[in-house]
Structure 1
């Protein structure tokens, strides 16, 4: 997956999140963001990385997002890794 395709996928994931009031509310509270911030930051790779990180916190969100995006649940993690700064850190 290229960084560009990862950004497109992350925007789809953000659209899913925006349609789920419970998940959106939790994200806004956890990130300190507002709905206006979502619109303003939607083109930021760092913000999209945060969106994918948040979705990856809960297995059910991963499954729900994957279903809404019509993709394999692993795509969320792959997209995260493809975004700038999203590489998996190996501590050993």
Structure 2
């Protein structure tokens, strides 16, 4: 199923909100990105950054499950949203 870019951005922003409320995971994300809190607010409007948020959460199945369960989403939604954002397209080598 293909997701619209607007829906993908909304999903990624929701994921960022979930991440910001996760006291255990947020410091890991901030350390991985090197962003300050102010930088995070500014970056939240960039579709490329939103894709990176989804990339980060999709690194661990437990994080995907926790996010999706908290929002009542199917587990494939983050992947579908990522595919609709810049840099998320599948690469075909042939």
TM-score, normalised with respect to structure 2: 0.92
After TM superposition, list the pairs within 5 Å mapping 1:73-88 onto structure 2.
Answer: 73-88=75-90
1:19-68 per-residue CA deviation (whole Å, 9 max, x = no partner) reads 10111110100111111111111110011000000000011000001011
Match of 1:9 in 2: 11
The Cα RMSD (Å) is 1.1
**Unaligned residue ranges in structure 1 (runs of 5+):** none
1:64 correspondence with 2:71: no
Q: Is the 8 A contact 1:3 1:84 kept in 2?
A: no
Please list every run of at least 4 consecutive aligned residues from structure 1 whose deviation after the TM superposition is greater than 6 angstroms. Answer: none
Structure with higher helix content: 1
**Unaligned residue ranges in structure 2 (runs of 5+):** none
Deviation at 1:90, TM superposition (A): 3.2
Q: Is the 8 A contact 1:13 1:69 kept in 2?
A: no
